[in-house]
Every structure is written in C-alpha cells, then in structure tokens.
Amino acid sequence: MSDQPAFPILDLAAFARADAAGRAAIGAELDRTCRETGFLAVGNHGVPDAVIEGLWSKLTDFFDQSPEVKHALAPAPGAPYGYLGPGTEALARSRGEETPPDLKESFNGGPLAVPPGETDPDALAFCYAPTPWPEAPQGFREAWEAYYREMERLAARIMQAFAVALGLPEDHFESVIDQPISALRALNYPAQDRPPETGQLRAGAHTDYGSLTILLPEPGSRGLEILTPEGDWRAVPPVPGAFVINIGDLMTLWTGGRWVSTLHRVVTPPEWAARRRMSLAFFHQPNWHAEVKPLAGEGGETVTSGPYLMGKFAAANG
C-alpha cells in the first residue's frame, strides 16, 4: 500500500474550452484511467466554494446531535433516505461477504423533485420516497439542496466527457440522464473509542452501484483506499480543490466491461482512530426507466436503471 502522487486529474475547464482535437485527447486520457482503475480527480469543476462550505458547516452540527434526534429521521421501511445509524449497513454485504457493520453513520437524500407523470410504484416508494428533513441545524435543507443541484450539474458535465472518452458524441447519454435518480449521502465516521471487531472497517470493501460517484472526502482526511490492478490497496488522499470521481457497476455494464468499477474501502489509519472523518458522496444514477445496454459491439446484459439500483441497495441493507 502506498500513497501514489500521480492521481489522474480531469481538468473540466480545460475540457470545456478545448476544440474537438483537444477534447479527443483529454477523452483518450480519461478512457485510459477508466480502463485501469476508474478513479480520478476532477479539478476546475466550477462548484462554488460557498456551496461546499455551506454544507460542511451544517453537517458537523447535524451529526453532533443526540442519537434520539437523529434516529427520529430513520427511513420508512424499504426507503433509502434519512438517517442510518451506526450498525445499519455493511457495504461488503453487497458482494455477499459477511462482515460486521461499517463504523459509520449517514444522512441520505434523493432527487429534489418527482418527474411529472411518474406512476411506477417502485420508483415512487424507493427513489422518490420523501427525504425526512432534520429540524436542526437551521438551513440544513437549503445547504443540502444547493449542493445536490451542483452535483447534478457536475455529473452531467462529467458524463459528457465520458461520452467523448468512449468515442461517442458528447450528448450521447443526455436522454437517459435528464431525470436522474441520484442520491446524496453525507457520511460521518465517528472517533473510535474501542478496537473494531475482526473484519470491521469504516466502510467495507465494495464497488459503487451506479454510473459515477462524486466523492468529497473531508479536506486533509485519510482512509480511502482502492484496490489497484496489481492487487494492492492504495491510499487515495484527497486532492485539494478537487472531487474524487469513480465509476460504478452500471458504467461497467454500460461499457461492456471496458471500464472498471474498482473495489474501494475506508480504513482507519492509526492517527485517525481518535478523529472523526466526514465525507460527501453523490451517487449519480440514470433515469429510473433508462434501459442500460452495453454499447454497440460489446456483449453483456441489459438492465433498467431503477430496479437495478433497488436490488443492489437491498443486498447491502437487508
């Protein structure tokens, strides 16, 4: 396990101002990264600092509340949004691995609006279930929604770069990501006051489920690791001013296996055991009804975005 300095960075501003040849060159680089690890940083992303800071400041106050206050925001049965306390989720279980629960708590929220005319009962009960908003801290919902909106915009821009990286027209994915069912998750890994159980991590080894994840680890924090193609766990320290992006399982399916959805986990380096760590993870997911078929010429199964996500969630949280 080593800290590797050369973490690939996608400069979104450079991509936006490049001509066709420049975009193709950036795309080729992106394609290489997505075939190797599917993990990269995105810089010059245009998300205002004030929006990011605005949410961080609310999260500390949110997680500092009493367990009773937070547990009152537990999801309705089968619904994914709200507060999930310590002991509720083991990400490694999504891969059939029996482990103790992850050492974390989270608050989760879904799309900001239900598309007009949506009647699918599973869609309404699962990804369009209402988010139980906390009463405190004041301004939590506004800060959350502002960040969520920025993530939706950023994900759409990254999907354009992904299309170019795959040799497709920039707007290739547009019609299946115009009503995305993405979820935002704020994570708090509390300070650990006793040794973990055998096999218990802050987040067990897992792959993400969707098209792409936009992760923002708390600045300066440590613990995220990815499994390299060589089979070693490699630390991925946050890149100042950038988001960490990774491909999910659905993107692997979509690209017929060309791009990899890499296993990752959150460990507790010794100097972090006494310290909390927070992160923000935005899981981008195509429209509920989107049929995700492997791109032309590639083999593999076809899935429908919403039911696929619901199945993955049930495996980790059941």
Ligand X SMILES: O=C(O)CCC(=O)C(=O)O
The C-alpha angle with vertex 160 and arms to 297 and 150, in degrees rounded to 5, equals 140
Neighbours of 170 (CB within 10 A): 15
From the list Fe ion, ligand X, none, pick the one residue 226 interacts with, judged by a Cβ distance below 5 to 8 Å according to partner type: none
Q: Which is nearer to Fe ion, 26 or 247 (CB)?
A: 247
The span of 46-54, 118-126, 203-211, 309-317 binding Fe ion (CB under 5 A) equals: 203-211
Binding ligand X (rule: CB under 6 A), the pick from 208, 255, 272, 309 is 208
91 vs 303 by CB, closer to ligand X: 91
Phi-psi region of 11 (alpha: psi -120 to 50; beta: other; left: phi over 0): beta
Residue 205, binding choice from ligand X, Fe ion, none, Cβ under 5 to 8 Å by partner class = none
Q: Nearest 5°: CA angle at 54, between 48 and 60?
A: 140
d(CA 208, CA 290): 18
Q: Where do the H-state alpha helices sit in the chain?
A: 12-17, 20-36, 49-63, 67-71, 121-125, 140-165, 249-254, 305-317
Q: Which is nearer to ligand X, 160 or 213 (CB)?
A: 213
Residue 310's binding partner, choosing from Fe ion, ligand X, none, with beta-carbon cut-off 5 to 8 A by kind?
none
Q: Is 208 in the site for Fe ion (CB under 5 A)?
A: yes
Site for ligand X in 252-311 (CB under 6 A): 264, 266, 279, 281
Q: Using CA atoms, how far apart are residues 157 and 165, in angstroms rounded to an integer?
A: 13
The pair of structure tokens assigned to 163 is: 């299309």
Question: Which residue's CB is nearer to Fe ion, number 105 or number 208?
Answer: 208
Contact partner at residue 84 from Fe ion, ligand X, none, CB < 5 to 8 Å by partner kind: none
Sheet holding 212-217, edge to edge: 9-11, 39-43, 243-247, 212-217, 277-284, 183-189, 105-109, 82-84
Residue 288 CA: distances (Å) to CA of 113, 132, 232, 304, 305: 13, 21, 35, 7, 5
Residue whose CB is less far from ligand X, 58 or 104:
104
Q: How far apart are CA 245 and CA 263, in angstroms?
A: 13
Q: Identify which of residues 131 and 160 has a Cβ nearer to ligand X in the complex.
A: 131
Binding partner selected for residue 217 from Fe ion, ligand X, none, CB under the kind-specific 5 to 8 Å limit: ligand X
Q: Which residue's CB is nearer to ligand X, number 23 or number 265? A: 265
**CB-nearest residue to ligand X:** 279
CB 225 within 8 A of CB 236: yes
The CB-of-209 to ligand X minimum distance in angstroms stands at 9
Site string for ligand X, 209-248 (x = CB under 6 A): ------x-x------x------------------------
Residues that bind ligand X (CB under 6 A): 187, 203, 208, 215, 217, 224, 264, 266, 279, 281
Residues that bind Fe ion (CB under 5 A): 208
